[in-house]
C-alpha cells in the first residue's frame, strides 16, 4: 500500500498557470494573527509540558490541546474510534542506573565518570566489557577492518564535528567493532561538545527504540584525557600521527555496561479533516503535517535549565499549522479537496509517528495528493522561508505563484540546493515518510540556529511575526493545492531525485 504509480508531467506545462484570486480566502488569511500564533507556541513550548518527549505526560497534554482546538473549530475527527487521536506503539529502552557501569582502572586505581555530564550510553542487547584492554582506533569516519588484537577489546574512536551532523560515524565505528569481535565502543566527542549536549544524548539515545549489539558510550573529550594520560599517551600527538593502525593504551583496563530493558508504551498522533466542497474531489486530500514532540528533560545547563522546550523545534510548525487550520475552518466556502491536519509525534525518534500514519492512514490512501510539512519555521532571516522539495514536483512552481500573488508575505523561497549539503536538512523531517510512499511534498523550514536541540530553544526566541506570515503562506499554498483540479505531479525524474536526496 505504501508505494503507488507516479504520475509524471514536465513542470513547464504547469509553471505559467496563475493562482486565481480568492477574495474570501485572502480575507480569512488575515485572520491568522500574531496573538493566536504566540498563544499556541507559548503553551506547547511552555515548561509545564516538560519538553514533550515521546512518550510523556507533557506530550499527552499537548495532544489534548491540539485535539481540543480541532474540535472547537468544527473540524472532523480523523483518529481512532471516531476521535482525533491515533495511537501507535513505542518501544522504549531503559538502562537502569544500577546496571550502568563505565570506568577504567590503571595502576590499581579506578576512575569513573559521571553519566549525563561526562558521557552518555546507548542501550545494548549484547553483553558488556569487563576489565577489557583499550585500543585507540582513530577517526570513526574512517573506521574499517581491524587487526586480531581488537577482539575482546574496547575500541576508542574520535567523533569530531557537530554530533547531529555526524551520527552516521557511530554506525561506521560500530560495524567495524562488530566485525572484529570487539567488546565495546567508546567515541570521543569534539572538544566543543559541552555537558549539555552530552546530557541530551543521554536522554535521547538511551531512551530511544534502538538497541546495539554491544555497549557504546560517548565520552566528552576533556574527561577522556585522563584515560590517555593513565596510559602514558598524548591524545593530541596520537591525532597528529600518520593515519593507519591502532594504538594500545597499555596498563589500562575498561569496564562498560549498558544493558537494555525494553518497555512497550504508546504515543499519540492528532488528526483532523476539513471536508472538501466538490463532490468529485472531496475524496482527495492535501495533508498538512507538523511534529509536536521534542526531547524532554535532560541535564541542567549552566543556568540550571533542564527543559528542552522545543519552541522552534517544533512548536513553531505546529502553531503555524493550528493557526492555518482555524483559518480553513472559518472559510465561507471550503476548497474543492479535503484538507488533513496531521500533528505527529516520534519525529525525534526516527519519524515514528509519521511513518505509522503513512502505514495506517486514517483517510483513504489513494486519495492523498500532496504533503505540506512544517518543521522549525520561526527563526532566522525574516524574509527567508526555505521551501524544500520544490524542484521535484508541480508543487514548487505553485508555491512560487502563491508567493508572487501575495507579496505582503515578504518571503524569498530558496530550496535545499541553497543550503549546506552537510546538514542534509531535507532528509530530516516527517515529509520523508511521504516521499517514500510516492507522495509529492513541500517542506517548509527556516533552518537551524545556535539554540537547535538546546534548552535555550525557548518561546521568547521565536520571531512570532515571521511565524504568522509562515502560517499565512501555508494557508495560501494548501488552499491553492486543494482548489486546483489538477493533481500535483512529480517531474519525470522528480521522485527518484527526491528519494536520493533523503537516503
Helix (H) or strand (E) holding 178: helix 168-180
Q: For residue 2, is pLDDT > 60?
A: no
What does the pLDDT average to over 68-75?
98
* pLDDT per position as a tens digit, 273-326: 999 999 999 999 999 999 999 999 876 777 888 899 999 999 999 999 999 999
Look at residues 22, 1, 46, 68 and name the one whose alpha carbon lies nearest to residue 326: 68
| pLDDT level of residue 244 (50, 70, 90 thresholds) | low
Are the C-beta atoms of 416 and 386 separated by less than 8 Å?
Answer: yes
Per-residue pLDDT at 460: 97
pLDDT of res. 60 = 98
Lowest mean pLDDT among 47-56, 160-169, 280-289: 160-169
CA 345 from centre of chain: 10
- The DSSP code sequence of 254-309 is EEEE-B-EEEEEEEEEEEEEE--S-TTTTTSEEEEEEE--B--B-S--TTS--B--
Separation CA 68–CA 490 (nearest Å): 36
Tally DSSP H helices, then E strands, for the chain.
13, 16
446, 310, 434, 285: which is closest to 374 by C-alpha?
446
Whole-number pLDDT of residue 240: 85
pLDDT at 10 over 70: no
CA distance 501 to 424: 8
Mean pLDDT of the chain, nearest integer: 90
CB 346 within 8 A of CB 293: yes
Q: What is the pLDDT of residue 18?
A: 53
The pLDDT tens digits for 349-374 are 889 999 999 999 999 999 999 999 99
- Residue 7 pLDDT class (50, 70, 90 cuts): very low
The residues, ordered by sequence, that sit 6+ positions from 241 with a Cβ below 8 Å of its Cβ are: none
Taking the model in full, what pTM does it have?
Answer: 0.77
Q: What is the pLDDT of residue 260?
A: 85
pLDDT at residue number 8: 33
How large is the average pLDDT for residues 115-123? 90
Between CA 34 and CA 411 the distance in angstroms is 17
Q: Whats the size of the chain, residue-wise?
A: 503
How far apart (Å, rounded) are the C-alpha atoms in residues 354 and 342? 9
Amino acid at each position: 500500500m505504501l508505494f503507488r504509480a507516479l504520475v509524471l508531467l514536465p513542470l513547464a506545462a504547469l509553471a505559467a498557470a496563475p493562482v486565481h484570486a480568492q477574495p474570501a480566502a485572502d480575507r480569512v488569511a488575515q485572520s491568522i494573527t500574531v496573538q493566536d500564533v504566540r498563544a499556541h507556541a507559548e503553551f506547547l513550548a511552555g515548561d509545564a509540558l516538560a519538553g514533550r518527549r515521546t512518550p510523556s505526560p507533557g506530550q499527552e497534554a499537548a495532544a489534548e490541546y491540539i485535539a481540543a482546538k480541532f474540535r472547537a473549530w468544527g473540524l472532523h475527527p480523523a483518529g481512532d474510534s471516531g476521535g482525533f487521536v491515533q495511537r501507535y506503539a513505542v518501544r522504549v529502552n531503559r538502562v537502569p542506573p544500577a546496571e550502568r557501569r563505565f570506568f577504567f582502572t590503571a595502576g590499581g586505581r579506578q576512575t569513573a565518570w559521571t553519566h549525563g555530564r561526562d558521557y552518555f550510553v546507548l542501550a545494548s542487547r549484547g553483553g558488556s566489557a569487563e576489565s577489557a584492554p583499550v585500543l585507540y582506533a582513530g577517526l570513526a569516519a574512517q573506521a574499517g577492518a581491524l587487526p586480531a588484537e581488537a577482539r575482546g577489546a574496547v575500541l576508542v574512536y574520535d567523533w569530531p564535528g557537530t554530533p547531529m551532523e555526524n551520527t552516521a560515524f557511530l554506525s561506521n565505528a560500530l560495524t567495524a567493532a562488530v566485525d572484529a569481535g570487539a567488546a565495546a565502543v567508546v567515541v570521543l566527542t569534539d572538544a566543543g561538545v559541552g555537558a549539555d549536549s552530552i546530557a541530551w544524548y543521554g536522554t535521547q539515545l538511551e531512551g530511544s527504540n534502538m538497541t546495539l549489539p554491544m555497549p557504546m558510550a560517548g565520552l566528552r573529550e576533556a574527561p577522556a584525557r585522563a584515560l590517555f594520560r593513565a596510559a602514558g599517551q598524548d591524545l593530541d600527538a596520537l591525532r597528529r600521527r600518520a593515519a593507519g593502525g591502532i594504538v594500545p593504551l597499555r596498563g589500562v583496563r575498561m569496564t562498560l555496561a549498558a544493558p537494555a530493558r525494553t518497555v512497550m508504551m504508546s504515543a499519540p498522533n492528532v488528526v483532523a479533516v476539513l471536508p472538501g466542497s466538490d463532490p468529485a474531489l472531496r475524496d482527495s486530500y492535501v495533508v498538512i503535517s507538523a511534529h509536536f514532540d521534542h526531547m524532554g528533560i535532560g541535564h541542567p545547563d549552566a543556568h540550571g535549565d533542564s527543559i528542552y522546550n522545543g519552541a522552534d523545534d517544533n512548536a513553531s510548525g505546529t502553531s503555524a499549522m493550528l493557526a492555518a487550520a482555524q483559518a480553513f475552518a472559518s472559510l465561507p466556502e471550503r476548497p474543492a479537496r479535503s484538507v488533513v491536519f496531521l500533528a505527529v509525534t516520534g519525529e525525534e525518534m526516527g519519524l515514528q509517528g509519521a511513518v505509522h500514519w503513512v502505514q495506517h492512514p486514517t483517510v483513504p490512501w489513494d486519495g492523498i495528493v500532496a504533503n505540506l510539512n512544517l518543521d522549525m519555521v520561526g527563526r532566522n532571516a525574516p524574509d527567508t522561508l526555505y521551501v524544500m522539495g520544490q524542484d521535484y514536483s508541480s508543487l514548487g512552481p505553485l508555491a512560487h505563484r502563491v508567493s508572487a500573488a501575495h507579496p505582503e508575505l515578504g518571503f524569498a523561497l530558496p530550496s535545499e540546493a541553497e543550503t549546506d549539503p552537510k546538514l542534509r536538512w531535507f532528509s530530516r523531517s516527517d515529509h520523508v515518510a511521504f516521499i517514500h510512499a510516492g507522495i509529492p511534498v513541500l517542506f517548509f523550514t527556516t533552518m537551524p540556529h545556535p539554540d537547535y536541540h538546546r534548552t535555550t530553544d525557548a518561546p521568547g526566541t521565536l520571531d512570532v511575526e515571521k511565524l504568522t506570515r509562515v502560517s499565512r503562506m501555508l494557508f495560501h499554498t494548501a488552499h491553492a493545492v486543494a482548489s486546483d483540479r489538477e493533481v500535483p505531479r512529480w517531474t519525470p525524474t522528480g521522485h527518484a531525485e527526491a528519494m536520493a536526496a533523503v537516503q
